[in-house]
Chains A and B, each alone.
Chain A
């Protein structure tokens, strides 16, 4: 816990690490970090065309849906995938500086929030063209964002620690996330799911995590049941992550 507090107090370090990381990747390209936005636009338009046809959805409407779900999904799934590598990727810094380990969890979260911000701006032009405005429910997106950050924290502390000890954990997690992608309403609407398969969404924590952010941006108030699930997994997540991290934190640097 102390390590996490010191990590927050030392925010300048992870802020600079993230900035340096992103600058490094896009410094010498014309669009800079807006490559994220551009490739997201292509993804959404392309998938909208194919799957909109497949599910018999009006094109513009469906693209607007995807413009919301895809950035959210990338945020959730990338935090999940990156979590197990938070410490492995920062081996050099961890071995040369006395930074608290949580620094690198916050770096991972900030990086993904940055990418998310560049992806989600697409809703402005898309909503303008589709003449869709979320209205007041958009306010409910703020607590959702807080929930995403908290999810990133416990994911990073838990899987970061385990992933440093067991090097096959990142692969295990990424196969879970790619499976989750297909059973979570990212590329399809929940209503497109036949009745007998609804349980796939109802019992899927990823679907709840996605829904609390998606609904407000699409102009609906989020469902209490989704928030209940998110609240539950967040509490459970921290209940497991904090003891594991607390117990094994001192070994992380030796495992690297």
Chain B
């Protein structure tokens, strides 16, 4: 176990994510071919050139066990892109990203739920998405049943659930695994007061047991509570990397209130 702990890491080596947004004309193979045949001068403007977006600009970063990172930045600063890159969803277009260890990304807990399938079927579906085997998805069922207090509803299709019930189930499934690396986009509050306390406790356990934790949030309280290091992201660059209070202050004075 200690061997594995030591191996868990995320390394970004001048990782750049630079992608093109196409206008409608740029998405057409026909106009692409046509443009070549007519020489490209007359049609160049009409068919639309791609706009290039640099969402991550040569970021170098090393995360090792014990790192609990709070990611702050304005909208469009590249937070979601960085989170997806850290989860292995986005591959860098230049540079390198190495991820060692099992990684779970909770950017949208409801993702992959099937409204027509029953609660139990959804446990199986989401469980497999999270990397469990069929036997393992059956093993987590009692735990989820107890935690969600859904009772007989677990055998009914999801579309009969209230939104609170649906969120409870999604939350319970997402938090029953113990990944080495946990990535979250905003910590989600769940349901009524009594359940909220229970959910907070479960989430804290999960964050505590994970070796590397990264959360993007606009809520300073959440970052103070869960993190020991802050990254401030600005236009695809890491503008600050260090202590929590210093990072939040840096963001407030230099970035949020600037411009």
A residues with a Cβ closer than 8 A to B are 12-13, 16, 20, 23-24, 27-28, 92-98, 162, 165-169, 172, 249-251, 253-255
Contacts and interface: CB of A to CB of B under 8 A. Distances in A.
A24 B30 CA distance: 35
B89 A251 contact: no
A12 B91 CA distance: 23
A98 B30 contact: no
B112 A254 contact: no
A97 B105 contact: yes
Interface in B74-113: 84, 87-93, 103, 105, 107-108, 111-112
Interface stretch (B122-130, B139-147, B161-169, B199-207): B122-130
A97 B28 contact: no
B27 interface: yes
Given A96-B89, A98-B103, A251 B32 contact: no
Contacts of A169: 29
Given A13-B128, A96-B111, A23 B32 contact: no
A166 B116 contact: no
Nearest to B107: A96
B105 A168 contact: no
A20 B112 CA distance: 10
Contact of A253 (B27, B89, B111, B124): B89
B125 A97 contact: no
Contacts of A172: 29-30
A251 B125 contact: no
B117 interface: yes
A97 B32 contact: no
Given A93-B112, A95-B84, A166-B28, 11 more contacts: A12-B133, A16-B128, A16-B129, A20-B117, A23-B116, A27-B116, A97-B129, A98-B89, A166-B27, A168-B27, A172-B30
Contacts of B186: none
Interface string B1-41: 00000000000000001011000000111101000000000
A168 B116 contact: no
B125 A20 contact: yes
A251 B129 CA distance: 22
B241 interface: no
A98 B90 CA distance: 8
B93 A250 contact: yes
Contacts of A13: 128-129
A95 B89 CA distance: 7
Contacts of B105: 96-98
A98 B88 contact: yes
11 contacts: A12-B133, A16-B129, A96-B111, A97-B112, A98-B87, A98-B88, A166-B32, A169-B29, A250-B93, A254-B17, A254-B20
A245 to B, nearest CB: 13
Given A98-B105, A168-B27, A12 B19 contact: no
Contacts of A92: 111-112
A28 B116 CA distance: 9
B114 interface: yes
A95 B87 CA distance: 11
Contacts, number: 75
A146 B48 CA distance: 43
Contacts of A254: 17, 19-20, 90, 93
A235 B89 CA distance: 30
Contacts of A97: 89, 105, 111-112, 129
**Highest count of chain A CB atoms <10 Å: which of B28, B92, B129:** B129
Given A13-B129, A92-B111, A23 B93 contact: no
B134 interface: yes
Contact of B28 (A167, A250, A251, A255): A167
B195 to A, nearest CB: 25
Contacts of B84: 95
Contact of B117 (A23, A98, A249, A250): A23
B116 A12 contact: no
Contacts of B124: 16
A11 to B, nearest CB: 10
Nearest to A97: B129
B28 A168 contact: yes
A172 B28 CA distance: 11
Nearest to A98: B88
Contacts of A165: 27
B112 A96 contact: yes
A20 B115 CA distance: 10
A28 B157 CA distance: 11
Contact of B128 (A12, A94, A167, A168): A12
A92 B129 CA distance: 13
A253 B30 CA distance: 22
